Amino acid sequence: MSAHVESHESHETPMSLYYAVYGILMGLLVLTVVVAYFHLGAWALPVAMSIAIVKAGLVVVYFMHMRHTGKLMWLYDAIGLTWLGVLILAVLIDVYARGR
């Protein structure tokens, strides 16, 4: 029986990078709260969703360590996000198609 040894590259991430990403996330949180106090009309949802997507992306890439994964994992994530987009789009189309 042969021993199988997996070789993983060591990905040492400095704590300063985590603190910087945390600071950016807190800044985006403050931006979200500030934007909520302005009457943006039809732009309120796109602005809020854009900020949320940036925050989610930072969390996935840095705190969930996606930047150290292979291309296949990025493909799986892209497929999952695409499917989520299709589902959200289907719900939005259904809501829009209903009478007001």
pLDDT in tens, 10-48: 678 889 999 999 999 999 999 999 999 999 998 988 899
Distance from C-alpha of 81 to C-alpha of 92, rounded to nearest angstrom = 16
- Say what the pLDDT of residue 66 is: 86
Same domain, 19 and 34: yes
Number of H helices, E strands in the chain: 3, 0
CB 66 within 8 A of CB 73: yes
Can you give the pLDDT at residue 83?
Answer: 96
Closest CA to 17 of 70, 69, 58: 58
Question: What's the mean per-residue pLDDT of the chain?
Answer: 87
Are 58 and 82 within one domain? no
Tally of CB atoms within 10 A around 54: 14
Residue 2 falls inside a structural domain: no
Range(s) of the domain holding residue 50: 7-68
Average pLDDT, stretch 67-77?
89
Residues 79 and 64 in one domain: no
Question: Quick check: is 85 in a domain?
Answer: yes
Task: Establish if 1 belongs to a structural domain.
Answer: no
Q: How many Cβ atoms sit within 10 Å of the Cβ of residue 65? A: 11
Distance (Å, whole) CA 48 – CA 16: 28
Same-domain check for residues 46 and 34: yes
Same domain, 60 and 81: no
